[in-house]
Amino acid sequence: MESDIGLWGVPLAMLGGAIRVSTPFIFVSLGESITERSGRINLGLEGTLVFGAMTAYAIAVVTRSPWLGVLGAAGTGLCFGLFHGWICKFPKVNDIAVGIALMLFGTGLAFFFGKPFIQPSAPGLPAIAFGSWSDIPQVRAALNVNVLFLVGAALAVILWWGFHNTRLGLIVRVVGDSSDAARAMGLNPNLVRLVATGVGGAFAAIGGAYLSLYYPGSWNERLSSGQGLMAVALVIFARWNPLGCFAAALLFGGAGALGPALQSVGVTKGYYLFYAAPYVLTLVIMIATASPGRSLAGAPGELSITK
Amino acid sequence: MAEITSGSLAPAALAAPRARGILEWIARRSEALVIPLAALIAGLGVFSLFLAALGKSPGQFFELMWRGGFGSWFSLQNSLQRASPLLLAALCVALPARLGLVVIGGEGAIVLGGTAAAAVGYWLTGAPAFLVIPAMGLAAMAIGALWIGSIGWLRHARAVNETISSLLMAYIAIALMNHLVEGPLRDPASLNKPSTHPLAAAYRIGNIPGTEVHWGLVLGIIACVFSWVLIEKTRWGFAARIAGGNVRAAQIQGLAVGPLIVGFTALAGSFAGLAGMVEVAAVQGSANASLAAGYGYTGILVAFLARQNPLAIIPVSLLLGGIAAAGGLIQRRMDLPDATVLVLQGMLFITILLSDTFYGRFKIFDPDRWSWGWKERA
């Protein structure tokens, strides 16, 4: 029963990696799916994620409570999202460009305030050991599931159900499909989009909190490698469906775990190329699922990116 | 470019039609200058509040920024040096923007251009410099054109969103550069910081005589002027502006939108690639991870501040180059983290985008709505 499982380590490490790496993708893409369903696109979630990671880490260092950190991160994410929503309500302001600006601003601000927190260590988020039945350390490692992953999975189901079965879900979808129809129903599209962008920002920041408080579990300026941005592409791939977002996030997590998994079994050549796997996968999926002349199935009608 | 204003067509019976014509021309033209300047000042104002809230002196900040960026010949040269990659990186955003595309992955073309230039410079060791340096430039421009041009092609042929794909391609480019620099192209002598073989001294780009500023600045300015002429004075530029306004209308007019998009994005990418080559040949001396220094991202800000106008990119690059040049001084004297410059850039970016909403709102810029007697009633 020695732990020599050879090449089986690769798929096992990828499974574990998929669960570990996917959580930020799940939160960012669920948040973005709410925002995009309301007809706006927030490309600034990358900045929100980094700022959320910094806030969560800083609060956890000071208060020694990781959950307060997650809460604080969600608060700052809400602020970033509301800020984006507020700016975009002005006529002629381009929501994609504002997203890029907020991406730079959020990361800049996170580096600015995060400098003193690079050194101290914060308490991490707890994980549940689903693999305790096994004697194989790799299996145990792969099935050590963080609580936030489970929360994200539950949220995906709730959102999927909620979009189609609740009044709130209907409001968001109407606003996203046609501002005129929404106004005719007596809804204020700008207000709905403001709230939807705010909630999306809060979700993205929780994804950031996971990065700094669990995996990789530290705060530094190279913490995020574009997860916030890939998640936006992932929402399009998932056709704005929360369950699709969850599945796509797992797929991306698996791709992201490919590099470290191969390294762990001794493949050292060209591992930089394997680190590019999630980006290549995103790009390939975008190319495969986009098509000219035909609007995407399930796309919110007011979304600037698909117009 | 001077359009015929309504003033110059008005009857000569009015007191000073010529003077009014000039005034109207100034009014129409000044909107594009006054609003960005006001936004810039507002952005600096917000940043001052930010500093004040942290207990730092905004006055000292601006004084140091002036001293470190523009106040002396020494600091001005430093700013010009830092402005030169920004010129080319900003063109990578501004050219596609005229077609209505938001391409933000110039960083990828920069790192690959620099890597290609370093590889070519090494492979051609021994050949005369007047051949090798242009070959390095061409290789860098070719890979940049291929990289960003393919984003344009994907946009046109497959409707793949160019903003996201360009950024993904930037990450892929950086991974590719890391792979090449640590693997096939690595100089075994570079231990701590994997790099390509250093360029022979003859293949380095020197400084403009009498200055400490390398020739990349001149290349950048030429590229900006060239792009301005292309957009404003040629039929391709005209076609691009129409397509940027409304793709359907352009297609109905019989314009070949596909070649326009691919051509403009490829040209944009070639400029970014050239920026990478200059970075290698004038500054670094070899290709390594320092190539991904964020010029591509600052270039986005420059292009938006310049409102995608290639000529306006020149002063805006100098301004942001100056801010970057003063960054070190500000950091040391005011005990601020090095991300301060990023925060300032972000604030400027947001205020400039917010200012978009003010176009067409002020009567003073629109002679047709003037009400103090200048405008003759029909």
pLDDT of residue B378: 43
Please, are residues B82 and B262 in contact by the beta-carbon 8 Å criterion?
no
Instruction: Check if A118 contacts B (Cβ < 8 Å).
Output: no
Chain A partners within 8 Å of B157 (Cβ)? 292
DSSP conformation letters of A104-126: HHHHHHHHHHHGGGSSS--PPPP
- Residues with Cβ within 8 Å of A28's Cβ and at least 6 positions away in sequence, in order, are A45, A49, A203, A204, A207, A227, A228, A231, A232
Question: What ranges do the domains of chain B cover?
Answer: 86-313
pLDDT of residue A73: 97
| B104/A272 Cβ within 8 A | no
Q: Residue A76 and residue B320: Cα distance in Å, rounded? A: 28
pLDDT of residue A296: 63
Please determine, for residue B4, whether its predicted confidence score (pLDDT) is greater than 60.
no
Which residue in B165, B176, B349 is closest to A104 by CB distance? B349
Instruction: Check if A287 contacts B (Cβ < 8 Å).
Output: yes
> Hey, which residues 73-132 in chain B have their CB within 8 Å of chain A?
102, 104
Domain that holds residue A101: 22-225
Note the maximum CA span of chain B. 82
Instruction: Check if B42 contacts A (Cβ < 8 Å).
Output: no
What's the pLDDT tens digit per position in B307-352? 999 999 999 999 999 999 998 899 899 999 989 999 999 999 999 9
pLDDT of residue B155: 92
What tokens were used for B47?
Answer: 């940043």
Is residue A305 included in any domain, yes or no? Answer: no
CA closest to B361 among chain A residues: A91
Chain B partners within 8 Å of A92 (Cβ)? 356-357, 359
**Alpha-carbon distance A131 to nearest alpha carbon in chain B (angstroms):** 34
Per-residue pLDDT band for B12 (boundaries 50, 70, 90) equals very low
Name the average pLDDT for chain B: 89
Chain A partners within 8 Å of B107 (Cβ)? none
CA angle, A83 as apex, A82 and A85 as ends, to 5°? 60
- Residues with Cβ within 8 Å of B231's Cβ and at least 6 positions away in sequence, in order, are B95, B98, B237, B240, B241, B310
Number of domains in chain A: 1
Chain B partners within 8 Å of A225 (Cβ)? 171
What's the pLDDT tens digit per position in A92-147? 898 888 998 999 999 999 999 999 998 888 898 888 888 888 888 778 877 888 99
Q: Residue B64 and residue B72: Cα distance in Å, rounded? A: 12
Instruction: Check if B159 contacts A (Cβ < 8 Å).
Output: yes
Instruction: Check if A275 contacts B (Cβ < 8 Å).
Output: yes
ipTM, 2 decimals?
A: 0.90
Split chain A (307 residues) into runs of 10 and give each run's mean pLDDT: 62 83 94 94 94 96 95 97 95 89 94 91 88 80 87 96 94 92 93 96 96 90 84 85 93 82 74 84 85 67 70
| A111/B339 Cβ within 8 A | yes
**Alpha-carbon distance B5 to nearest alpha carbon in chain A (angstroms):** 25
**Alpha-carbon distance A303 to nearest alpha carbon in chain B (angstroms):** 12
